[in-house]
Structure 1
Amino acid sequence: MTEAHSQALSAKLAKNRLYQDCFKYMQSDSLALPTIPDVSVKIRRAINEPNANSNKIARVVQIDPSITARLVKISNSPLYRGRRKIESCPEALTRLGLKAAQDIITAFALKAVFNAKSPVIRRKMQELWAHSSYVAAISAVFAHKTPGFDPDRAMLAGLIHDIGVVPILAYADRQPEILANPTDLAEAVRELRSPIGVQIVRKWDFPSDFEDVIIHAENWHRDSGETASYSDIVMISQLHSFIGKIDIKQMPKLDELPAYKKLAKGNLDADLSINILDQAKDEIEHIRQMLT
């Protein structure tokens, strides 16, 4: 960015009250951040107990029938399906593993965070959730087909890659007059989604590499080294999510990106990657439905 461009951007942001307010509250650590859903906290606490087992965890999970049903459903999905059909919560937890189940349950519960009162902001929250859940579904499929990655963790990583936008929308929801200029929201999101997102995953005590997922979700040409990471999977998945929605000329070429080359080197089939939306569309749609 040239100095002139930087000065012009600073001048624009100085007039953007939404940006200024959110930046000020973020800097003072007083911006209202979303709270991780209660069911996720209870599951994490139960799983970390010394004598944790599937039956004990199931009793906690079954407090929420909706999450129980979706947990059983995903244990029978192509991502995890075994020789026999799973029909109970303890069986689902045994097949998935307790750590994987924790990530999956957190993903299921996160939709409650994407909510607002005003129709305009509620619609934007719904659009954000639709995008995030689509990226999450593609990330899970990529991880399933790439050695060394867990689909459940990739799904959760994809789901939170834009979590930093939620407090910005929530603030605008409480201050409707602040959105007089439609470009103000886009500018605030562009500048603040990463630092606010990092604050959230630290507050939620998520794995430290999820910070990289948030920071580098759109850093297309980033090369983080020889080993592929969850941030690489989420970034490539996000590019796939734009197919058919954004002019292809505005998108970088997949096979030229360092992240793509690392994933392909890990035996991800090149044709599958390019055509994943067609070849794995049923699998992706299955995960999206469970998330929504």
Structure 2
Amino acid sequence: MSTSVASIDPDKTGNELKAQRFQMLEDIAREFSGEVVFPTYFDAVLRLRKVLNDPNQSIANIAHAVSAEPLISAKLLHLANSVAYNPEGKDIVDLKSAIVRLGLSVVHTAALAIVMTQLMRAKGMAEFADTTHALWEHSIQTSAAAHVLAGESSRINKDEAMLAGLIHDLGAFYMLYRASQYEELRHRPDTIRYLIVQWHESIGVSLLNALGLPEEIVEATIDHDHLRGQPSTIRSLSDIIYVANMLSGGHIEWVMQDQPGMTDAIAQLEQQYGHLRPAIDALTAELRGNLK
């Protein structure tokens, strides 16, 4: 039986480990100045490629499939708001409107190009397969919860809320990909988990800005994993992403349960919004099925 790398080469400690972590963060900062494409959930990307390669798919079917892929959704929104497709400067904030503005040909070509780049960069991600799957499932459920919660408020766009929920943890996907580029980090899940807990929110904000997402969507993702005062009424997109994330397991995913008051906060949210659970579960299943 072979011996794992982790068993013969223990985690670095002290200044040596800190230097390795900062090297990764410095590399991330440099990459944001160029084109950013990275793999998210490998199986979902494979299924999306199958949809995109089918010439009989309608724009509605492609839109449904893309709505379950965080990075491609973000990039299509940015493209739709670019000068080439938005000469009048009227920004849109939801995926459906972006796809309508771009048209089938552009959506198909752009999405397929991103898919192929994701697949080429997916090497080395095998160690994180379970984590990326769990993160994708969480993103899908948060997206569904955000849509349903927005439906309870007349002031929030449901489709915008759905997109914000889908991409709220894009920084964590990106950090997993960046970690896969470091031989030592790939075999140290505890080190990666620590880095993601500490940095995925701030890196996520920088990433969404680098991807050119509308400011209101970026701002809605800030501090979504940090315990805040209980919102008696949902008043903003930020409130929706916070509640949707918590209802979808975000407090557990990155070991947030150690925060004082977390258990009580979750219980209060479940009591206040638990009646929406059947609708959230149904929409989650629909989004998950969009790639089948």
The TM-score normalised by the length of structure 1 is 0.60
Corresponding residue of 2:220: 213
**Deviation (angstroms), 1:18:** 5.4
Contact 2:168 2:221 in 1 (8 A): yes
Contact 2:147 2:159 in 1 (8 A): yes
Judged with a 3 Å threshold, the aligned counterparts in structure 2 of structure 1 residues 196 and 228 are, in CA distance, closer, same or farther, namely same
Corresponding residue of 1:277: 277
Distance 2:157 2:178 in 1: 34
**Deviation (angstroms), 1:212:** 3.1
**Deviation (angstroms), 1:275:** 2.7
Corresponding residue of 1:167: 174
Contact 1:213 1:231 in 2 (8 A): yes
Judged with a 3 Å threshold, the aligned counterparts in structure 2 of structure 1 residues 237 and 39 are, in CA distance, closer, same or farther, namely closer
Distance 1:51 1:27 in 2: 28
Q: 1:1-292 alignment to 2 at 5 Å?
A: 15-16=17-18, 19-26=21-28, 34-35=36-37, 37=72, 39-45=76-82, 47-50=85-88, 60-63=102-105, 116-118=122-124, 119-222=126-229, 228-242=235-249, 251-254=263-266, 273-290=273-290
Question: Any unmatched runs of 5+ in structure 1?
Answer: 1-10, 68-104, 261-269
**What letter is aligned with 1:276?**
L
Distance 1:32 1:164 in 2: 16
Contact 1:18 1:184 in 2 (8 A): no
1:15 alignment partner, SS class? helix
1:215 alignment partner, SS class? coil
Alpha-carbon RMSD across the aligned residues, in angstroms, is 4.4
Contact 2:170 2:204 in 1 (8 A): yes
Which moved further from structure 2: 132-141 or 217-226? 217-226
Distance 1:286 1:33 in 2: 32
Contact 1:132 1:160 in 2 (8 A): yes
1:153 alignment partner, SS class? helix
Distance 1:157 1:44 in 2: 16
Judged with a 3 Å threshold, the aligned counterparts in structure 2 of structure 1 residues 179 and 273 are, in CA distance, closer, same or farther, namely same
Greater RCO structure (CA 8 Å; 6+ sep): 2
Contact 1:142 1:233 in 2 (8 A): yes
The percentage of counterpart residues that share the same residue type is 18
1:253 alignment partner, SS class? helix
Distance 1:13 1:223 in 2: 39
1:219 alignment partner, SS class? coil
**What letter is aligned with 2:217?**
F
**What letter is aligned with 2:122?**
A
Distance 1:218 1:127 in 2: 16
Judged with a 3 Å threshold, the aligned counterparts in structure 2 of structure 1 residues 254 and 21 are, in CA distance, closer, same or farther, namely same
The TM-score normalised by the length of structure 2 is 0.60
